[in-house]
Structure 1
Amino acid sequence: MVIRAAKAVADCPRKVADLVDLVNLPSTLREFTGQSQLSRLGCFVRVWSYIKDHKLQDPSNKSIVNCDDKLKRILLGRHQVDLAELPMLIKLHFQKKSKQLEIDNEPRKASQKD
């Protein structure tokens, strides 16, 4: 299992960095977590801990989360969420990296003079 995880990190270091890099949180997540900066992974862990601490999993189906008012604010106002959807719903709060970085890193072509 550890070898598999190490291989995944080696194969996709940028994806791992996106998960663990600290970012400025939008106001909804800032209010929920009480922090101004957190990684995507850290944010997911906080949400999961909140769900477990407040016993928000459906007793008859543990893969369903029954959202309270505080959780609804960050999960698009939904009353129930499937656990498989949780990472995607949290990811929506994080801005995508600017395409400008890709443009800046491309080699520039020499301008042609007439």
Structure 2
Amino acid sequence: MATPKKAPAKAAPAAEAAAPAAKKRTPNAAFMKPLTPSAELAAVVGAAPLPRTEIISKLWAYIKEHKLQDEANKRNINADAKLKKVFGKPQVSMFEMAGLIGKHVK
């Protein structure tokens, strides 16, 4: 009669906790540098110079406020008249949005 095999032992949670703590990330200065938006982008996020991270945050706030996310695929953004001037096309993926924004900041 064969004996049942034992399942391999799982690592104890204490062993995982003993790993060295990860270094706290420091913000990249390039992302925090205030950038001036173009006239088309300023119509959406405002004309004041903002860091790139804040520009993206304001864009998402605008997109959610105006319900511009595609209902079938939430990763796509349907551009209204203001965003169409920024993106250059009627629909963009959220992954290409940051690249398209780069053309509208100095």
Cα separation, 1, equivalents of 2:41 and 2:22: 32
Aligned to 2:68: 56
In the alignment, structure 2 segments of 5+ residues that lack a partner are: 1-20
Q: Could you tell me the TM-score, scaled by structure 2's length?
A: 0.69
1:83 aligns with 2:94: yes
Name whichever of 62-71 and 17-26 sits farther off.
17-26
Q: Which has the larger radius of gyration?
A: 2
Q: 1:18 to 1:39 in 2, by over 3 A?
A: same
Number of equivalences: 86
1:70 aligned to 82, 93, 96, which one?
82
Deviations 1:71-92 (A, max 9, x none): 11111x2111011111111122
**What amino acid sits opposite 1:43 in the alignment?**
I
Larger RCO (CA under 8 A, 6+ residues apart): 2
**What amino acid sits opposite 2:97 in the alignment?**
L
1:27 aligns with 2:39: yes
Q: 1:6 to 1:93 in 2, by over 3 A?
A: farther
Three-state SS of the structure 1 residue aligned to 2:104 is: coil
Please identify which structure carries the higher helix content: 1
In the alignment, structure 1 segments of 5+ residues that lack a partner are: 96-114
Cα separation, 1, equivalents of 2:73 and 2:53: 25
Q: 1:5 to 1:43 in 2, by over 3 A?
A: farther
